[in-house]
A and B are shown apart, each in its own frame.
Chain A
Amino acid sequence: MAGSGIKGMRDDCASIVEAALDGGAQYADIRLEYNAFTSVELRNLEVEKANVGYNYGAGIRVAANGGWGFSSTNRLDRDSLKARMGEALKLARASSDGLREIKLAEVKVVEDSVPFKGKMDVRDVPLDQKCSDIIEINKNVMTHDERVILSRMIYTDFMKTKVFCSSEGAYIEMDLPEVEVNYNVTSRDKGISQWARSRETGQMGYEFFQHYDIEKLGRNVVEKSIDLLEGEKTPGGVFTVVIDPANVGVFIHEAFGHANEADSVLQRRSFQHGLLETQIASEIVTVISDPTMPYMKGSYPYDEEGTPAKEFTIIKDGILKNYMHTRETAAELDMEPTGNARASDYAVKPIARMNNLYIESGDWKLEEIIEDTKYGLLIEGSRGGMEDPERGGFQLSAQNCYLIEKGEVKHPLRDVAMTGQTLDVLQSIDALADDFYLLPGHCGKGEPGIMQGAGVTDGGPHLRVSNILIGGTR
């Protein structure tokens, strides 16, 4: 069952990319995937929903005549794959006038097999055991406060087997595990309901529950929902804000990261076009991308073009140093490939994506930052955000908010949305705490209909920014 046979198809894969070259292609690759997926959703102590799924298929990508063609299918017999390769080759040829060549930055041609390195393969744990384990945890979370009316706990796991084979001779097999728990708690008091959420993810097997304290995660979400019950509506206007790693993460991801993806830069859809080697942030800001961090949701050993993953610096002391590249964008901009080509599954082409992205910590204590703030907001937890990479704007919805007055954290507020111009905010960061946390997230990129999902983490320390526009509800 492991990989359902896709690891035994090396010869088929090799002959298909070979046939593409024989047909006049400049380059071809094939990606196979078999993903066994489980999710269990608890509504209080009952299994409200459970899903098991298998995602199985192949995507073939061909460069010819200066254009790209792509074709995908979930029929993996040799004849179907050959026919799909022919289709991709035909589309590639017709995409362009043939006057140019697709440029691809050189990467080391790798032959490798990356086995599952965890302790307990999730496919070996029976579904009923997974259910009873999480019900036990949720029991303790629900009783943490009597105002809790609904505790939704969503457990998901997968084991994804992937194969990559290119016409340059690369052949990589990978078994990639993941376990995740999402908490969404609604509390109610005096006729008002409020909800809060959080999640934890680990690229590992079922030992996840020994590695992370999931009950504590749940209790923390309960406490945040209670704070919202007691929260007053937030005033609108321009504020100094102290934001927590969750919002730092969403900011660095949405407001900065998307516009740093080199395909957007090349397509002139990014405000970061032409800003390399310029001071775009205050001198205390350094931003790192690192897909090699163990267990993190955004980690991987090789990207979807077979490029080995590596850590690199994007902003160094406020100066923009790099973009996140695929092989093609790196070649177009005459830069080093960074291993950021990702695809949500076999059915779509790899594009430049984030992995684990963070702002480096500073040397303030969080308490010192608060003491140093006369009037402002402390913003915690995120309800997501949207980027506007073209104009360099962003919008973030926060979960919890507290008023800061004369250096002290006062009463809770609620319904907080922030908006701003990314470069203004980056320049206005004036204090970085010495703490550090990365939060897992699901990132979407693309156009309506062809949105691609990717697991990422993002974060950094608590930090302070002046002049953020808050859209309050008061």
Chain B
Amino acid sequence: MSSEILTWAEKAVKLAEALGAEQAEAFVMRDDLKYLTVELGEVKFRSRDSHTGMGLTVNRNGSLGFAYTTKMDDGGVEDATRDSLKVASVRVPDPNFKGFPEPKKIIPVTGAYDEKLAQLSDIKAVELATTMMEASKQPDSAIIPTFGVLECHKRTKAVVNSMGLAVEDVGTILSVGLRTLLKKGDRAGNGYDFQSSRNLDKIDPAAIGYKAGELAVSSMDTRDIETCKTTVILDPHAVAGVFGSVLAQPLMGNLIHEKRSIFVDKVGHDLGCEKITVIDDGTLPGGHNTGSFDAEGVPMQRKTLIDKGVLKGYVYDTYTSNLANTESTGNAVRSGGYMTGNRPYRNTPTVGATNFIIATGDSNRETMIEETDDGVLLTFAVGGGSPISGDFSTDARNAFKIEGGEIAYPIKQAMFTGNVLDILKNLESISKKSRFSGGLSPGMVLAPTMKFSQGTIIGGK
């Protein structure tokens, strides 16, 4: 028996064909969201939302048209279908469009759905938030948990096209984050941490709270430093902040086609850093963006993109893989603008990372710090860089000066700048542990802690 969303997708494709489309592809998603915020230590706001929306792409005479709607009734779906055909009529035929993807065998993925998470009760949600807030005060009882969010989604997606493809998938995800403030007289420190997981039991609210609290304590009494070339250690959030834009983005097939990437024509090239291996894996068990199929119904895959410093390939959706005479790697994503994960039906597919993995190494964070005589540790890096040139210039947040193998003091303001190819040549060690962080939209970076023997830090002194 077809579910409600699969039925809407099938209906829209049939209607489009009846109204003159040669082919059509419907993407429908239902998102059930539970959300709460905590403010100054108390649960302040709660919501429950349920939304269904559809994006419809049609091909008429070789021209593509697209329309979306959240008015999911017969009238709303018909309006969107007629509009998608009108859009096709204003576009010139696209010789590079070779059709929507053929159905392929879908291999189920693991860890993308958790019934406990789907059924998360109001009481349990408040419990999680309370545990997190209490833990944040452990490093210092004066810490204020200023603002926190708990966001729990159950998303059901369906893709149907005229090639006979009809797939449906359901996934869950929980994201929890907390900001903290510690103020003593004129001195102040801020902290932040978050986790997200497909599985309720993998979220550790006490660890998030403690980390956010600890960061506030250690960030008090900042000092300015001078501009220097020095050893740089990036924690996972900072790795994602720097490498999302200058390592992941330039590997996307659309940027390669448009020649807007530092990695154009570089397959087989040695980037000069044998320590770096990069994998995009949409099938990673329990991965943040893991699913059995991508935004156009193509099975997700695991691809090694950089192997011990040698560039192996790029990632593609169906359209860009045709341009490159290759196959889709299952990397079609739909972004939803500001609500990227929540409204993907608003957009046609494009190429995007899924779970972008920077392979772990054999070191650990403590050793990296101990073995650093003089250096800088970054917790967050904000700003990114250019996928065309590989140059980056990021604002270092919650950064620390390292002296004599120890964290010496927090840094008031600094920027970390450079070029991705240069900095990778200075890669000295990678930690065994890694964690998911943002840095891409909607993709996520699974990032370790990384140490570079030399990087440029612009200080405020």
Contacts and interface: CB of A to CB of B under 8 A. Distances in A.
Contacts of A472: 393, 417, 458
Contact of B48 (A40, A87, A447, A453): A87
Q: Is the interface of B mostly helix, strand, loop or mixed?
A: strand
Instruction: Name the residue in A72, A74, A236 with the highest tally of chain B Cβ atoms < 10 Å from its Cβ.
Output: A74
Given A448-B175, A453-B338, A471-B393, A50 B49 contact: no
A128 B89 contact: yes
B246 to A, nearest CB: 12
A29 to B, nearest CB: 14
B339 interface: yes
A411 interface: no
B415 A419 contact: yes
A91 B71 contact: no
A362 B415 CA distance: 32
A267 B147 contact: yes
Contact of B46 (A95, A395, A397, A450): A95
Contacts of A121: none
Contacts of A56: 69-71, 76
Contact of B67 (A52, A71, A75, A473): A52
A96 B43 contact: yes
B137 interface: no
Interface residues of B, number: 83
Contact of B47 (A91, A269, A386): A91
A449 B151 contact: yes
B70 A415 contact: no
Contacts of A72: 47, 49-51
Residue among B79, B179, B383, B394 with max Cβ neighbours from chain A (10 Å) = B383
A391 B71 contact: no
Contacts of B419: 473
B404 interface: no
Contacts of A442: 338
A65 to B, nearest CB: 12
Interface residues of A, number: 73
A397 to B, nearest CB: 7
A76 to B, nearest CB: 9
Interface string B32-58: 000110011011111111111100000
23 contacts: A50-B65, A51-B66, A54-B70, A67-B46, A68-B45, A70-B46, A73-B49, A73-B51, A88-B47, A88-B48, A95-B46, A195-B388, A391-B188, A395-B383, A415-B393, A417-B393, A417-B395, A447-B177, A449-B175, A450-B342, A452-B339, A471-B393, A472-B458
Given A395-B415, A447-B149, A449-B175, 18 more contacts: A50-B91, A52-B67, A52-B80, A53-B80, A54-B80, A70-B47, A91-B46, A94-B46, A94-B126, A127-B86, A267-B40, A267-B146, A268-B144, A393-B397, A417-B415, A447-B177, A450-B35, A471-B395
Interface of B: 35-36, 39-40, 42-53, 65-72, 76, 79-80, 83-84, 86-87, 89-92, 122, 126, 144, 146-147, 149, 151, 153, 175, 177, 179, 181, 188, 190, 194, 227, 258-260, 337-342, 346-348, 382-383, 386, 388-389, 391, 393-395, 397, 412-413, 415, 417-419, 438, 456, 458, 460
Closest 3 CB pairs of A and B: A471-B415, A453-B338, A395-B395
